[in-house]
């Protein structure tokens, strides 16, 4: 079952993602055109990533003390206010703009945005249960990929047509619409909305809150990590994901560009074709999950491992291939199992922890994912320079094979009879 509030969540996050792409592209173009410095422009994603990592580290405290719907609303409204302040500053100071001020605004927005992803991922299983959960995750994944695929292309056209400042106005309107839609989301685990004895629950809730306040912040920060380590299902999923990420980072745009020029001996235009083909494959993979959710619901972990095995075979052929058209087709096809495995993995994570603990778990998972991504990016950059792109993709296939073998070792933890129940009202603690 999928509740109406999920569609509000889905819509608000999609609109917010559109605004993020428009705003980021506009700011990058504006800073680069004003500074004529690539080094200055690179500071934008650096500030953005730093803010999201810092936000993820403190997220368990925030997620443990406030309702998820309030966190989403506060995060998006705060981003809207900061963005409006940035827009006004850029509008009234057409000359001699302070890049430091722009970077601080980007940092502030990214810090607030760092709470959005774990809050969203923890809220989805509360708004969609049973078969609806995997279907909901598939819908979210498809919309995310559509926004990424179309957003960057259309944003570039809009910026070239209207200019950076006018495009930022459009982004501001999108943020405002996203905030409005978010205000309609209702968490079914909100005790005040579920129980007629609201006064008694409110009293219990206040006592619980006081007990939490007595605990140290360090304990709250470590709670999510403890759950990840002691929960066999979550721990095994994170081990599989981390090992797979070492090779999966090779599909980043910079590595694809190197593959196009060094292996296929084509110009940068093929880089754009490759990215578009991959996005189309991931969109198809998400739609396939939505359509086959009843079949995938049973033995979903084995289906995830199967999708990863298909991805391994495609990656090996991709690494050894030198025909541009074949590479284009292989890259598109690879997006399908990658998306399927990702959706199933997210669904399994969402059903492997009680509802009250899930936000902190998701925050910890986000930090681990970003850390694994950053380290693998540095490692693969060195590996590509030393051994070349063919060896990089063969290594990616080998790492995913290891991830599948690890997953096969843990498969008994994911038998259908052992799956945890969906979130219930008794699990509400936020």
208 domain-assigned:
no
422 domain-assigned:
no
Whether 128 and 32 map to the same domain: the answer is yes
pLDDT tier for residue 18 given thresholds of 50, 70 and 90: confident
207 domain-assigned:
no
Give me the mean pLDDT over the 12-40 stretch: 81
Whether 155 and 232 map to the same domain: the answer is no
Residue 266 confidence (pLDDT) = 82
Q: What is the pLDDT of residues 219-269, one digit of tens each?
A: 666 666 777 788 888 888 888 888 888 888 888 777 887 888 888 888 766
Q: What is the mean pLDDT of the chain?
A: 80
Work out how many domains the chain is built from and give that number.
2
Whether 267 and 373 map to the same domain: the answer is yes
56 domain-assigned:
yes
Whether 150 and 284 map to the same domain: the answer is no
Whether 144 and 291 map to the same domain: the answer is no
Whether 400 and 272 map to the same domain: the answer is yes
Residue 108 confidence (pLDDT) = 92
Q: What is the pLDDT of residues 325-362, one digit of tens each?
A: 998 899 889 888 888 888 888 888 888 877 777 777 87
Q: Is 14 left (phi over 0), alpha (psi -120 to 50) or beta?
A: alpha
Whether 149 and 230 map to the same domain: the answer is no
420 domain-assigned:
no
Whether 166 and 235 map to the same domain: the answer is no
CATH number, position 161: 1.20.1250.20
118 domain-assigned:
yes
Whether 234 and 314 map to the same domain: the answer is yes
Residue 255 confidence (pLDDT) = 81
214 domain-assigned:
no
Whether 235 and 91 map to the same domain: the answer is no
Q: What is the pLDDT of residues 54-79, one digit of tens each?
A: 888 888 788 778 888 888 899 989 99
Whether 161 and 272 map to the same domain: the answer is no
Domain interval for residue 329: 223-415
423 domain-assigned:
no
């Amino acid at each position: 079952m999928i509740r109406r509030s999920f569609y509000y969540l889905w819509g608000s996050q999609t609109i917010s993602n559109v605004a993020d792409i428009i705003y980021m592209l506009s700011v990058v173009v504006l800073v680069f055109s004003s500074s004529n410095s690539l080094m200055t422009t690179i500071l934008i994603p650096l500030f953005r990533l730093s803010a999201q990592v810092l936000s993820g580290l403190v997220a368990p405290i925030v997620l443990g003390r406030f309702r998820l719907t309030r966190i989403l609303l506060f995060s998006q409204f705060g981003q809207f206010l900061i963005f409006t302040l940035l827009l006004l500053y850029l509008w009234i100071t057409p000359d001699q703009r302070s890049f430091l001020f722009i970077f601080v605004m980007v940092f502030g927005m990214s810090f607030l945005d760092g709470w959005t992803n774990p809050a969203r991922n923890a809220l989805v299983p509360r708004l969609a249960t049973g078969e609806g959960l995997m279907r909901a995750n598939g819908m979210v994944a498809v919309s995310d990929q559509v926004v990424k695929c179309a957003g960057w292309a259309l944003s570039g056209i809009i910026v070239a047509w209207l200019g950076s400042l006018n495009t930022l106005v459009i982004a501001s309107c999108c943020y405002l619409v996203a905030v409005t839609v978010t205000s309609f989301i209702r968490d079914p685990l909100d005790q005040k909305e579920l129980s007629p004895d609201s006064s008694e629950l409110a009293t219990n809730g206040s006592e619980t809150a006081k007990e939490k306040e007595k605990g140290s912040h360090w304990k709250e920060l470590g709670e999510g990590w403890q759950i990840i380590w002691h929960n066999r299902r979550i721990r095994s999923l994170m081990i599989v994901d981390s090992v797979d990420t070492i090779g999966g980072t090779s599909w980043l745009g910079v590595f694809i560009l190197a593959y196009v020029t060094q292996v296929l001996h084509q110009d940068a235009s093929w880089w754009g074709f490759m990215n578009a083909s991959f996005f189309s494959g991931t969109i198809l993979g998400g739609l396939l999950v939505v359509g086959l959710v009843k079949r995938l619901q049973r033995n979903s972990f084995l289906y995830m491992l199967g999708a990863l095995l298909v991805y391994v075979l495609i990656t090996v052929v991709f690494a050894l291939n030198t025909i541009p058209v074949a590479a284009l087709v292989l890259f598109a096809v690879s997006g399908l199992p990658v998306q399927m495995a990702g959706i199933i993995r997210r669904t399994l994570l969402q059903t492997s922890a009680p509802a009250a603990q899930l936000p902190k778990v998701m925050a910890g998972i986000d930090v681990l994912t970003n850390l694994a991504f950053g380290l693998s990016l540095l490692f693969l950059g060195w590996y590509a320079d030393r051994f070349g792109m063919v060896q990089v993709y063969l290594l990616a296939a080998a790492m995913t094979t290891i991830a599948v073998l690890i997953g096969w070792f843990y498969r008994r933890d994911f038998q259908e009879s052992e799956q945890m129940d969906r979130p219930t009202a008794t699990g509400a603690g936020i």
